A and B are shown apart, each in its own frame.
Chain A
Amino acid sequence: MAKTLKKGPASVEFRNVVKKYGTIAAVDGVSFTVEPGTLVTLLGPSGCGKTTTLRLVAGLEIATSGQILIGGADVTRLSAADRDVSMVFQSYALFPHMNVLDNVAYGPSVQGVPKAQAHEMAREKLRLVGLADYDLRLPSELSGGQQQRVAVARALTLEPQVLLFDEPLSNLDAKLRRRVREDIRDLQQSLNLTVVYVTHDQQEALAVSDRVIVMSNARIAQAGSPRDLYESPASLFVADFMGDSNIVEAEIVSVAEGSARTRLADIVLELPARGLAPGPVKIAIRPEALAVCLVKPEMPSIAGTVAKAAYLGTHMEYTVATAAGALFVVDKNVAEPKALGTGLWLGLTRVGVALVPRS
């Protein structure tokens, strides 16, 4: 019942948490820390355990083993009602039989706050999300975006130490998504909230997060800043999941001071070694990291011919046959498309090319 006290944002810590259903582990030995006042995204394909992880934070699932700490206190065995955590559900879960004001005032009123005061708290949050005039509507009379804001206001009323979002954008149309995700980020930063956010959309994750935790098969595949994850994926899975990637075979010739001399087809690259030893290796090359040139550029480059070409309005997409295999390339230059069979050079820029450790 500590929910009515006002406190700052809290950290969330998982220590080797396992959640099993029967013999199947939905979350299998997961450890991470969410710093206070940051937005951390749990990202992964469906069935990877990200939603179960979120529900473990909320207390809607109780861990089979391991420890969960919120604000340094052990909450592993506490039920959802006893944790200072609120959640915005994928379906918003607005109570259909209550109007907007009663929905938002639900938290304080079940805690025994007098009705007038609870309503005042609710109105304040409704103003915050820009729905001050909608308090007497029923949820069914609101648009999807408005319902989502009501759900956020309801989760904020108790000023929880941690706020959870379960795929908050999945029920919105594409145009609204960008705006709502910016709103969520603004709210998180201006109110200095600790937020854990679940999504399967890597762009969304990159756009809103301080840190991203990529999950796969009930475990953490990689955790880091959005830039780390995109530019230096720790595994083939992450490289593939975080957007398009060309995975090509190469060989590390030698390693010195954390830098690996790597032979890719007929060129040699200096790349961060990431703890790899000399020998065969895979390189992930982002399609936009390859510069399309008609003459051989100064940077290391591979020769090839255009095998497929497609016009997508903002950019061109090519498949280029090279000595390193067929490479998928994105080119911003739509004014001068390259015809099929054109010979060209693909220059490797410094970012977006990374050695992938074997996982």
Chain B
Amino acid sequence: MRRLVLTWACAAAVAFALVPWQLQEDGFFAFEWLAQYPGDTASPGLFYALGERPWLWGVVPPILLGFATLAFERADKRFGRTLIAAGVLGLGYTLAQGFAIGIVGLKWEWLAALVGPIDTQQFGFGWGAVGVLAAFVVWISLGIAALGMFRGDAFVAGGVVISSALILAFVFFPIATMLAGAMTDEAGEIALALFFRRLFADDVWGLACFYSARPCGVMFNTVLLGLITGTVSTLMGLGFALVVVRTQFPYRRALRALTILPIITPPFVISLAIVVLFGRTGIVTSFLDAAFGIPPTRWIYGLPGVAISQLLSQIPVAFLVMIGVVEAISPSLEEASQTLGASRWQTFRTVTWPLLRPGLAAAFLLGFVESLSDFGNPLVLGGNFDVLSTKIFFAIVGAQHDPGRAAVLALLLLSLTLGAFWLQTRWLGRQSYVTVTGKGDAGLSAELPKTLRRVLYWTTIPWAVFTAVTYAIVVFGGFVRDIGRFDLEFTWRHYLDAFRVENTERGWFFSGSAWDSLATTLEVSAISAPLTAALGLLVAYLLARQRFAGSRTFEFMTMLSFAIPGTVVGVSYILAFNVPPLELTGTGLILVICFVFRNMPVGVRAGMAALAQIDKSLDEASMTLGARTGQTVQRVVMPLLRPAIVATLVFSFVHAMTAVSAVVFLTSARHNMATAYIVGRVEAGEIALAIAYSTVLIAIMALAILLIQFAVGRRELGRRGQQAAALGGH
């Protein structure tokens, strides 16, 4: 441990004395600054301290204090205490000076009154500052371990402290900044009157649509849409699940395949297909006009269109949830009911249905939250039908540009999703219908009542066909001249526009318009996927395998970011990371960070589920054989977690590629993402190009899933799959 302290002390010293302190113009991963190093804006902290920023000397004493701890033995309490003191002082001072002195010099007037005004501009933290901060955080964790907390385990202490610090910085700090933004006016003064005016504005809560021709407020619209999507998707999902699990329907496998679609589909792609079908010049609309003389209208733009496209993507998700629920109902319960003389219908009503209820609640809340968070579909199809997520977007990028208003709306959206999240944990936490026991269950499921079966067939099968048609449109639409106007002449034009590669005299030239955004998307997704998996599984390991004070709070912190809608994340990131000291907007890094912290909870869940299957005595055996916690994780836990690693990698890669809501706020001309680019094409009316690009994305994701599974999951999985008991060490 003393060696680690020394290593990080040296790292801090080097970071302060030699590495450029502030953010370089081209971001973290550009190295043009080498030309002017070590002077000008590329100066290390030490040079700044000697020159125009004497306050940076304040970083030096904590670093020296860190070196000084080496005078004590590890067992000495003073070792741990001094180390923590060095870390806390250093962290506090470095952050405080960063927040206090920004691009306009010293921001806090009370401080200016104390030390005199400072006009020197200070930009965001660069590698130097980040290195120093990292050393301080590591010292705090080592100090805590040295004092005997976390059973003296430096790995565990480090894992908890570092991941907490990251979550605080990239989940809580942005939300807090947004909260502050909602309460203040443009000058940065606290303005509660303005806050309440924004909060209770008529276009938020209004119910004018009930008694006049004017539209209702955005809250009403959002909740109505959420209720429709939640209810209908749950019922349809249940219908599909019953058909697949409880009937002899011949194409059950094909229905199951439906469930994969929404995972690899960028959320707004479906609304493109809807436009193609039902838009003013759409296929169905034109057909109805020609055949029955029904005049084309724009009815699809608004609630109907958004609801239909949300349902198309949400029903398969509810289907997936409900399959699990229906399969988990033990047939012997229904058999018991039948042997007691109940008819099929009575059995369904009194046994099957009550057992389904918790699953239905889960699926409903999921659909509700997804609908609230959805941004792509309302953007494409919303028309005059405003929902919170689009309203927030236009408050930021629109002509009105009002970040404070965006923050207020984002707060409303956040409280809606957090409310649903809270309801879910509270409600489902209390009920437990354990029907799958360890004992073998040889019973046969009860047949569904005949009427019910007929109803199910008549609702699910047409919907499945409709889903298939929309996807067919997506694939087909990229290859014809203009599917929106029913011009079905075959053409490569859209693909060439997007993905043209020319062989010029100066070599191959990627001249297609989509290459830039595709490259950025792949790069950002490929970088963020392993980081997400690493952080998520580390947190899962800490939660599942280590007992420490505050682990409940830690778990809550990590899961919370799951409940924050992408639009809210986007707004909060813009507000928090647009100014020093954490100045990240416009970089590719902010995209990576956004994805890592948005997708991490899935890694945590997958990891915890997998760890629950692995006998804890395996870790303990490793420890009694002399392995450190780090070695145990590397040699025993990681190899056994391989399936969870694959799942997390796939999920975070795919989600990074398909995400829209947070991304539209964070992309820049330099770092444009595929989804944001496609949204742009849609707004410009180039639907065919958008469709072609979307098809390519879907194909890439399908390929990536196969590749990741092949690369990580090859060895041994099959054998252990058959020998499930082997995971228990038997």
Q: Which residues of A contact B (CB under 8 A)?
A: 1, 3, 58-60, 62, 77, 79-81, 83, 85-87, 89-97, 106-107, 110-111, 138-140, 144, 147, 154-155, 158, 164, 171
Q: B248 within 8 Å of A by Cβ? A: no
Q: B620 within 8 Å of A by Cβ? A: yes
A83 to B148, CA, bound (A): 17
Interface residues of A: mostly helix, strand, loop or mixed?
Answer: loop
Check B730–A81 contact: CB distance below 8 A.
no
Check B617–A90 contact: CB distance below 8 A.
yes
Q: Which residue of B lies closest to A83 (CB)?
A: B624
Given A81-B623, A95-B622, A110-B625, 15 additional A-B pairs, CB 8 A: A60-B620, A79-B623, A81-B624, A87-B621, A89-B729, A94-B621, A95-B618, A96-B726, A96-B729, A97-B720, A111-B626, A139-B726, A140-B725, A147-B730, A158-B626
- Chain B residues with Cβ under 8 A from A144's Cβ? 730
* A–B Cβ pairs within 8 angstroms, 14 of them: A59-B623, A60-B623, A60-B624, A77-B148, A81-B628, A83-B624, A89-B621, A91-B615, A93-B729, A95-B621, A96-B720, A96-B723, A97-B640, A139-B726
Check B728–A89 contact: CB distance below 8 A.
no
Which of B43-51, B386-394, B631-639 is the contact stretch?
B631-639
Q: B716 within 8 Å of A by Cβ? A: yes
- Chain A residues with Cβ under 8 A from B729's Cβ? 89, 91-96, 139
Check B626–A110 contact: CB distance below 8 A.
yes
- Chain A residues with Cβ under 8 A from B635's Cβ? 106, 110
Q: B153 within 8 Å of A by Cβ? A: yes
A97 to B641, CA, bound (A): 11
- Chain B residues with Cβ under 8 A from A79's Cβ? 151-153, 623
B386 CB → nearest A CB, Å: 52
Q: B727 within 8 Å of A by Cβ? A: yes
A158 to B719, CA, bound (A): 30
If A96-B720, A96-B726, A96-B727 touch, does A85 touch B624 (CB 8 Å cutoff)? yes
Q: B627 within 8 Å of A by Cβ? A: yes
A93 to B729, CA, bound (A): 4
A-B CB pair tally, cutoff 8 Å: 99
A155 to B628, CA, bound (A): 17
- Chain B residues with Cβ under 8 A from A140's Cβ? 719-720, 723, 725-726
Q: Which residue of B lies closest to A1 (CB)?
A: B626
A94 to B153, CA, bound (A): 24
- Chain B residues with Cβ under 8 A from A59's Cβ? 623-624
A81 to B632, CA, bound (A): 10
Check A80–B631 contact: CB distance below 8 A.
no
Chain B's interface size range is: 20 to 34
- Chain A residues with Cβ under 8 A from B625's Cβ? 86, 106-107, 110, 154-155, 158
Q: Which residue of B lies closest to A3 (CB)?
A: B626
A54 CB → nearest B CB, Å: 11
Check B615–A110 contact: CB distance below 8 A.
no
Q: Which residue of A lies closest to B153 (CB)?
A: A79
- Specify which of A1, A77, A110 is in contact with B622 (CB 8 Å cutoff): A110
A157 CB → nearest B CB, Å: 8
A93 to B628, CA, bound (A): 17
Check B627–A93 contact: CB distance below 8 A.
no
Q: Which residue of B lies closest to A147 (CB)?
A: B730
- Chain B residues with Cβ under 8 A from A94's Cβ? 621, 729
If A79-B152, A110-B631 touch, does A93 touch B626 (CB 8 Å cutoff)? no
- Chain B residues with Cβ under 8 A from A138's Cβ? 719, 726
A90 to B148, CA, bound (A): 29
Query: Which B residues from 626 to 670 make CB contacts under 8 A with A?
Result: 626-628, 631, 635-636, 639-640
A111 to B635, CA, bound (A): 13
B618, B621, B628, B719 interface centre (most CB from chain A within 10 Å)? B621
- Chain B residues with Cβ under 8 A from A1's Cβ? 626
Check B151–A93 contact: CB distance below 8 A.
no
Check A106–B622 contact: CB distance below 8 A.
yes
A147 to B726, CA, bound (A): 11
Check A93–B621 contact: CB distance below 8 A.
yes
B304 CB → nearest A CB, Å: 53
Query: Which B residues from 706 to 730 make CB contacts under 8 A with A?
Result: 716, 719-720, 723, 725-730
B618 CB → nearest A CB, Å: 5
A106 to B152, CA, bound (A): 23
A81 to B151, CA, bound (A): 12
Interface string of B448-485 (1 = CB under 8 A from A): 00000000000000000000000000000000000000
- Specify which of B624, B723, B730 is in contact with A171 (CB 8 Å cutoff): B730
- Chain B residues with Cβ under 8 A from A81's Cβ? 623-624, 626-628
A60 to B617, CA, bound (A): 10
Check A87–B624 contact: CB distance below 8 A.
yes
- Chain A residues with Cβ under 8 A from B636's Cβ? 95
- Chain A residues with Cβ under 8 A from B624's Cβ? 58-60, 80-81, 83, 85-87, 155, 164
- Chain A residues with Cβ under 8 A from B726's Cβ? 96, 138-140
A128 to B723, CA, bound (A): 28
- Chain A residues with Cβ under 8 A from B626's Cβ? 1, 3, 81, 107, 110-111, 158
Q: Which residue of B lies closest to A91 (CB)?
A: B729
A144 to B621, CA, bound (A): 18
Check B617–A91 contact: CB distance below 8 A.
yes
Check A77–B152 contact: CB distance below 8 A.
yes
B620 CB → nearest A CB, Å: 5
A155 to B621, CA, bound (A): 9
- Chain B residues with Cβ under 8 A from A89's Cβ? 617, 620-621, 729
- Chain A residues with Cβ under 8 A from B628's Cβ? 81, 110
Interface string of B135-164 (1 = CB under 8 A from A): 000000000000010011100000000000
- Chain B residues with Cβ under 8 A from A60's Cβ? 620, 623-624
A90 to B620, CA, bound (A): 12
Check A96–B617 contact: CB distance below 8 A.
no
Q: Which residue of B lies closest to A154 (CB)?
A: B625
Q: Which residue of B lies closest to A89 (CB)?
A: B617
Which 10 A-B pairs rank lowest in CB-CB distance, beginning with the nearest?
A93-B621, A140-B726, A107-B625, A93-B617, A96-B726, A80-B623, A110-B627, A140-B723, A93-B729, A89-B617
- Chain A residues with Cβ under 8 A from B725's Cβ? 140
B558 CB → nearest A CB, Å: 24
A12 CB → nearest B CB, Å: 14
- Chain B residues with Cβ under 8 A from A97's Cβ? 639-640, 716, 720
A91 to B617, CA, bound (A): 8
A81 to B628, CA, bound (A): 6
A91 CB → nearest B CB, Å: 5
Interface string of B246-280 (1 = CB under 8 A from A): 00000000000000000000000000000000000
A81, A90, A139 interface centre (most CB from chain B within 10 Å)? A81
A93 to B623, CA, bound (A): 12
B624, B636, B719 interface centre (most CB from chain A within 10 Å)? B624
- Specify which of B623, B719, B728 is in contact with A91 (CB 8 Å cutoff): B728
A138 to B725, CA, bound (A): 13
A107 to B635, CA, bound (A): 12
A110 to B632, CA, bound (A): 9
A83, A110, A139, A164 interface centre (most CB from chain B within 10 Å)? A110
B437 CB → nearest A CB, Å: 21
Q: Which residue of A lies closest to B636 (CB)?
A: A95
- Chain B residues with Cβ under 8 A from A107's Cβ? 625-626
Q: Which residue of B lies closest to A111 (CB)?
A: B626
B549 CB → nearest A CB, Å: 12
B546 CB → nearest A CB, Å: 12
A3, A96, A139, A154 interface centre (most CB from chain B within 10 Å)? A96
A117 CB → nearest B CB, Å: 15
- Chain B residues with Cβ under 8 A from A110's Cβ? 622, 625-628, 631, 635
- Chain B residues with Cβ under 8 A from A106's Cβ? 622, 625, 627, 635
If A1-B626, A79-B623, A81-B627 touch, does A62 touch B730 (CB 8 Å cutoff)? no
Query: Which B residues from 562 to 581 make CB contacts under 8 A with A?
Result: none
A134 CB → nearest B CB, Å: 16
Q: Which residue of A lies closest to B642 (CB)?
A: A97
- Chain B residues with Cβ under 8 A from A3's Cβ? 626
Q: Which residue of A lies closest to B628 (CB)?
A: A81
A77 to B151, CA, bound (A): 9
